[in-house]
Amino acid sequence: MTTVHPPCPVVRTSEDGLALSRIVAGMWRMGEWRMAPQQRVTFIEQCLELGVSSFDHADIYGGYGVETLFGEALALQPSLRERMQIVSKCGIKLKSTARPAHTIQHYDTTAEHIRASVDNSLKALRTTHLDLLLIHRPDPLMDFDEIAETFEALRAAGKVRHFGVSNFTRHQFECLHRRIPLATNQVEFSPLHLAPMFDETFDGLQDKGVAPMIWSPLAGGRLFGDDAAGAPLRAKIRQVAAETGRPFASVVFAWIMQLPSAPIPLTGSGRIEAIAEAVEATRFTLSRQQWFEILRAARGHEVA
C-alpha cells in the first residue's frame, strides 16, 4: 500500500498577512543545476505537489541570471504563477559582466536602486508582482525613512505585496519595522551557526510575532562532511534520526523549526528528493531531550 503524506503546510510569517509554505525552495544555485527549461518546469511542479509553493530568489543569484532561468520556466507554464509565492532580494551590487557599470562590489539601498532592481526582477521572472521583497544585506548608508517610503510606493504601484529584510540585526530590523511592517528577517542559522539564537535575533522576532526565514540550514552541506570537529554533532543527529526513523536532513530541519519564533527554512538543492526530506520535517517533532542533545553536540558543552 502506498502511503500518502500530507503536503507541506502553509504558515503566516507575521500579522501583515503574508503566507509562505513551511519549507521554501531556494533558487540560489539553479544556474548550477544544468536544467533545460522544461526540466525547470517539472522541478517547480514537483515542489508544488509537495506543498512547497514559495520560491526564494535574489537579483544577484547566478551572476544576475537565476531569475531569468526561473522566468523562462514560468513562460512555458504561466498557470504555475498563480500557485506560488515569489520572494526576491535587492541591495547588493556585484561586479559582473552582466552589470559592467559596477566597478566595486557594494551595497545600494537608495530608492532609485530598489525601484530599478524590482523592475529588473519582474522582467526577468516574467511576472507582474513579487510576493515578498527583501533588502539583502544591511547597508551602512541605508536611510530607514527612504527605504520605507520606497516600499510603500512599490506596494501602491502593485509591484510588491510584502516587504522584509535579510541578515539584519535585531536593532536594524526594529528600526525599519517601526516605519513599515516587515514580514520576515532572512538569516543564516544551522547547528553549525547558532548566533541568531543567542544574539537576540530570534527573541526579537518572536516578540514582534514575525517568523524568520533561514538560509543555509544544512550549513552549506558541511553537516554532511567528514571533518573531525563536526563528528560528535553528526553522530548525535544520526542517533536522533535512527530514534525517529527519519532522514538525517529531516532531523536538522525539524530541530530548526521547533524554535518558538517559527523559523521557515530554505532548501538549496535541485534534487526533489532533498526537498521531500525537508518537507518530511514538518510531520514530526523532536522530544525536548533530543533537541537539547543536538544543541549540546553543536556547542560542545552542557547548558549552564
| Helix (H) or strand (E) run with residue 60 in it | none
The mean pLDDT value for 27-40 works out to 97
Query: Is 90 exceeded by the pLDDT of residue 14?
Result: no
The mean pLDDT value for 151-158 works out to 98
Per the annotation, the verdict on 61 as an active-site residue is: yes
Helices (H), the chain: 37-49, 61-64, 66-76, 111-125, 144-156, 170-177, 195-198, 201-208, 231-244, 248-257, 272-280, 288-299
pLDDT number for residue 1? 42
pLDDT number for residue 179? 98
- pLDDT bin (cut points 50, 70, 90) of residue 4 is low
The mean pLDDT value for 242-253 works out to 98
pLDDT in tens, 109-144: 999 999 999 999 999 999 999 999 999 999 999 999
* C-alpha cell read off for 10: 502553509
The mean pLDDT value for 59-84 works out to 98
Instruction: Say which CATH superfamily domain 10-217 falls into.
Output: NADP-dependent oxidoreductase domain (3.20.20.100)
Pseudo-torsion of CA 39, 117, 90, 205, nearest 10°? -100
Candidates 43, 55, 61, 202; catalytic one: 61
The mean pLDDT value for 80-103 works out to 96
Contact 73, 41 (CB under 8 A): yes
Closest C-alpha to 215, from 93, 31, 56: 56
Provide, rounded to the nearest whole percent, the portion of the chain with pLDDT above 90: 95
